Amino acid sequence: MKILVLNAGSSSQKSCLYEITGALPDHPPQPVWEAAVDWTHHQGFAQIKIKTAGGAVLEEEIRTTSRPDVIAYLLNSLAQGETQVISQPSDIQVVGHRVVHGGPDYKESVVVTTEVKAAIARLAAFAPSHNPANLEGIEAIEMSLGSIPQVAVFDTAFHAQLPDAAAIYAGPYEWVEQGIRRYGFHGISHQYCARRAAQILERDLHSLRLITCHLGNGCSLAAISQGHSIDTTMGFTPLDGLMMGTRSGSVDPGILIHLLRQETYTADELDQLLNKASGLKGISGISADMRQIVEAIAANNPRAQLALDIYVHRLRSSIGAMLASLGGLDALIFTAGVGENSPLVRAAACKAFEFLGLKVDLEKNEQSPVDQDISTSDSAVRVMVIHTQEDWEIARACWQLL
């Protein structure tokens, strides 16, 4: 089965093609074709990078801000030129989409129908910079490939069974009726990492209590019990919870009331402040990138040190909160850009939990572990680094649904 995966960000578009012959493999296969598109480098232009399993690489910049145009370009590059891997676009059997917000109704992946599209459009009110991009992707495929089956895989779905006590904010009860509750995000990554960890530990996922730490540009934790998320740090929006690259994470909502009263902020300005000018970047004044924060600390920059200290403090206290929701822990899992690549952050986070008998093997932690247990053999809790593979998780969902 040839499965095309589309993963749309607000100013990016990733895509890859998997080819599965026979049974669903246990381990993620290498995609036969991968593309990454970025609109942030050069205004008005899409920077496109495509590579194939055969070693072909294509890098191009095209003048367009249109996602449908770019998707048409990507489909062409699959079927012609040096990055060709299929005879014609109609060889693709299914297209899977990461859809950020599935709201209260979508608790599992679904085949896209007119009704599903209407729901994704409606839920744009909850995820204004993501759901419209996801819908554009679905419609661009309809335009190019007609009635090919498409599957929506929701980032909220893995958290759909959060108990009410974890999901409902202690605001007025009307919020519950208005759908204002914790949805949680990064569910595709949390789910993949949980399953992969169980596979590595040779345990049944349903018997494990796990905390998955997805630490990328966006950061969230999930407390996982009996194979599903029972608590998570992101909330109604992906702004809640941990300190992130440019996002504040949780702040006292009284600060927002104060700012609205004292200054004349508009909703868009507050949005910009909390989503783009906060987090590691806001505190350090240097960068949202953890690598640059660590470099600046080495050069004795006190604001970079403060940014890291806040990041670690928030990470530790939120792991503690997940721990309390689970009532115990079998494995603590690190994933995504920072989680997979920063031994410093992993060691600092784990240090706070030594009293539980959780012990990291510091040598293994330093050796760029991928899909490995980095705890000592006598540790009471496994500590793992898992390379997240969201695109494969989406392809799996397509395979299973069809």
**Burial status of residue 180 (CB atoms within 10 A of its CB: 0-12, 13-18, 19 or more):** middle
CA dihedral 224, 192, 320, 165 (to 10 degrees): -40
Output 75 or 345, the one with its CB closest to ligand ADP: 345
- The least distance separating ligand ADP from the CB of residue 338, rounded to whole angstroms, comes to 5
Q: At its nearest, how many Å lie between ligand ADP and the CB of residue 160? A: 22
CB of 67 to ligand ADP, least distance (A): 18
Q: Which amino acid is at 232?
A: T
Catalytic-role residue among 38, 91, 105, 155: 155
- Annotated active-site residue 373? The verdict is no
Residue placing its CB nearer to ligand ADP in the complex, 12 or 250: 12
- The closest residue (CB) to ligand ADP is 337
> 257: buried, middle or exposed (CB in 10 Å: 19+, 13-18, 0-12)?
exposed
Residue 393 C-beta: closest distance to ligand ADP, Å: 14
- Name the nearest CA neighbour of 372 among 402, 329, 343: 343
Q: What are phi and psi of 333, to 5 degrees?
A: -120, 130
Q: What does the block give as tokens for 73?
A: 């370009």
- Residue type, position 196, single letter: R
Binding site for ligand ADP (CB under 6 A): 216-218, 245, 288-291, 336-338, 341-342
- Count of residues in the chain: 402
Return the number of the residue (105 or 289) whose C-beta is nearest ligand ADP: 289
Q: Give 81-85's long-range contacts (Cβ < 8 A, gap of 24+).
A: 82/56, 82/58, 83/33, 83/50, 83/51, 83/52, 83/56, 83/57, 83/58, 85/17, 85/32, 85/33, 85/52, 85/53, 85/54
Q: Closer CB to ligand ADP, residue 84 or residue 341?
A: 341
Tokens of 384: 């793992």
Minimum distance from CB of 304 to ligand ADP (Å)? 13
Query: In whole angstroms, how close is the CB of 371 to ligand ADP at the nearest point?
Result: 16
| Cβ-based neighbours of 261, under 8 Å, separated by 6 or more | none
The nearer residue to ligand ADP, 89 or 184, going by C-beta atoms, is: 184
CA distance 307 to 338: 14
Smallest distance, ligand ADP to C-beta of residue 244, A: 9
CA 386/CA 133 separation, integer angstroms? 28
Contact 383, 350 (CB under 8 A): yes
User: Nearer Cβ to ligand ADP, position 145 or 310?
Assistant: 310
Q: Which is nearer to ligand ADP, 172 or 285 (CB)?
A: 285
Catalytic residues: 155
